[in-house]
Structure 1
Amino acid sequence: MAERLIQSVDRAADILELFLDGESELSVKDISEKLGLSKSTVHGLIKTLEHRGYLQQNPDDLKYKLGLKLFELGSFIADKLDIVQIARPFIKELVDELRETVHLVVRQQDELVYVAKEEGPQTLRISSHVGKKAPIHCTGVGKAILAYQNEREVDRILSTIKMQAFTEHTITDKEEIKKQLQTIKENGYSLEDEEIEFGLACVGAPIFDYNGNVSASLSCATPKMRLTDERLPEVIAGVKNAAAKISRCLGYKDVPHY
């Protein structure tokens, strides 16, 4: 048996959701025509929403726009989102799929912090732990985040941090790193090839929040010998897909479905 819906509440939600189509302001007539409701019905619903702060009227053209109450509620929800809790089932799913170690990191100023890790079942594993910090310029997770910062912020970070070379493969030239970042942004994933540790390879992907900002990323880390040319496309697809699912759960609308 279908649940009984309250028609007036359902219609009020329809009015609010009209603004998801990109309209910044709507008149009573606009809403009436879009929803197929009488102007009198729309007027009553709008006045109730306005009274509660969900809509506000522009005194110049008498049209309505979203009110600050929705911003207040949205900010509250955003503050309560726990990325680790949200990401955990997708991390487990990815580990089961690829049988390799998966990391979740967040940006903390100009460094990274591992906030979640799940080991793969393989005998050779990765030396890392939750709470460990990592450099942003030479890790797959770091470059996946750095690639989605604006140019000014990238320049600031690369000029501020110590561009340490951990192996002979670590790239420390700023312009070369910026070229890599452009490629990462075009492809939607990053690669790390023994830049932080000999014998270690990594595929990373950005995680977007509801504002479209990137301050977290997901990665699959594996001994390089297991990331063969034949297997690489599978790992890339898996990491991008898992990161996209987490982004959608955080409220990001534009992430593609892989």
Structure 2
Amino acid sequence: MADASKVPAADQVLRILSHLATQRGPVPAASIATALGLPRSTTYHLLGVLQERGFVVHLPEERRYGLGVAAFELSSGFSRQQPLTRLGRPLVAALVDRLGESGHLAVLHGRDVLYLVEERAPRRPSLVSDVGVRLPAHLTASGRAMLQALPPAQLRALYPDRAAFADLPSTTDAAPWSYSRLKTLLAEARAAGVAGEHGEVTRGLASVGAPVLDHLGWPAAAIAVTFAEGAPDELVDAASAAVVDAAATLSRRIGAR
């Protein structure tokens, strides 16, 4: 692999694109230069090239730069190629073989989780979390694993009030949901290194999940395992360690540092 110091222009272009991708909206060139420690002349030159190629759009009235259509096309290509599914499926399958329990890979989509991979263990109960199914993120182990990795401002934007908390008819949890309750639950998951749920999706079943982080430290997905409520501590501990290990492996495979 080439050292970034040997191809500085390429490294600088990628840093600019990565920086723009983390902003809430277009930003001035001067702020890009300052944030990345680049000379202003270099920053303007690279932005001009990116603009010509469609990766950056310039808003002259606002004197700001944002991501262009070509950057969106890269994102669409990423989705079409389904690298998370391709890279994650063998890891989830290995989890199922090792533990004898069903495993899943899901991504966060708004306030829902969307299941991309579902590996069913033999002679285990059927699950609602099939491929393509969406469930409220705050009720699932996968969702909680990803939510606990979000910045506080992003989490608050997803759950501005009580109306944001959807429920499921099958849940055994009668307590009302609130942002403060969610924050407490996510803090516990963060401290434990693994998120869990107990009968909140399907009565009699529990799950543990861990986040898959991208190169910016954002939750790209989560890997989880589902088993019977009241399972032996040995199984719960083994499942927790296994999902953390699988999530860390997938994180590395998608470029996490």
TM interval, shorter chain, is 0.5 to 0.7
The letter of the residue matching 1:82 is P
- In the superposition, relative to structure 1, how do residues 54 and 156 fare at CA in structure 2: closer, same or farther (>3 Å)? closer
CA contact (8 A) 2:102 2:124 kept: no
Correspondence list, 1:32-51, <5 A: 49=7
- Aligned partners of 1:96, 1:200: CA distance in 2, in Å? 19
CA distance in structure 2 between the aligned counterparts of 1:127 and 1:163, rounded to whole angstroms: 16
Name the TM-score, length of structure 1 as normaliser: 0.67
Structure 1: which amino acid aligns with 2:150? Q
1:181 partnered with 2:199: no
RMSD of the TM alignment (CA)? 3.2
Residues 8-40 of structure 1 deviation map (CA, whole Å, 9 limit, x = unaligned)? xx8xx34x2x5xxxxxxxxxxxxxxxxxxxxxx
- When structure 1 is superposed on structure 2, of 119-128 and 172-181 the one drifting more is 119-128
Contact 1:204–1:218 (Cα < 8 Å) also in 2: yes
Match of residue 144 from structure 2: 143
Pick closer, same or farther for the CA change 1:200–1:211 going to 2, 3 Å: same
Rg: which structure is higher? 1
Render the CA deviation track for 1:98-135: whole Å, top value 9, x for unaligned. 11110111111221111110101234342331111100
- Once structures 1 and 2 are overlaid, which stretch shifts more, 164-173 or 242-251? 164-173
Report whether the alignment pairs 1:244 with 2:248. Answer: yes
Q: Give the match's secondary structure for 2:256.
A: coil
Question: Does residue 1:230 correspond to 2:234, yes or no?
Answer: yes
Structure 1 CA distance, aligned partners of 2:219 and 2:211? 6
Give the match's secondary structure for 1:137.
Answer: helix
Rounded to whole Å, the distance in 2 between the matches of 1:108 and 1:173 is 20
Are 2:167 and 1:164 equivalent residues in the alignment? yes
Which whole-Å deviations, capped at 9, do the CAs of 1:27-54 have from their partners, x for residues lacking one? Answer: xxxxxxxxxxxxxxxxxxx6xx57xx43
Question: Where does residue 201 of structure 1 map in the other structure?
Answer: 206
Give 2:167's aligned amino acid. Q
**AA aligned opposite 2:194:** Y
Superposed, 1:41-190 pairs within 5 Å as 49=7, 53-54=9-10, 79=78, 82-158=83-159, 159=161, 161-164=164-167, 166=169, 167-169=171-173, 172-190=177-195
Contact 2:102/2:121 (8 A) holds in 1 = yes
Q: Secondary structure at the match of 1:198?
A: coil
Report how far residue 190 of structure 1 moved.
0.3
2:196 to 181, 186, 191: 191
Return the letter of the residue paired with 1:196. V
State the 4+ residue runs in structure 1 displaced beyond 4 angstroms.
75-78
Structure 2: gaps of 5 or more residues: 13-36, 50-54, 56-70
Deviating more after overlay: 137-146 vs 124-133:
124-133
Stretches of structure 1 lacking an aligned partner (at least 5 in a row): 1-9, 19-45, 254-258
2:216 pairs with 1:216: no
Equivalent residue number for residue 38 of structure 1? none
Q: Distance in 1 between matches of 2:83 and 2:172?
A: 37
TM-score when scaled to structure 2? 0.68
For the 8 Å contact 2:113–2:136, the answer to whether it is kept is yes
Per the TM alignment, residue 55 of structure 1 is displaced from its structure 2 partner at its CA by 6.4
Going from structure 1 to structure 2, the CA distance change for 1:59 and 1:106 (only over 3 Å counts) comes to closer
Percent identity for Structure 1 against Structure 2:
26
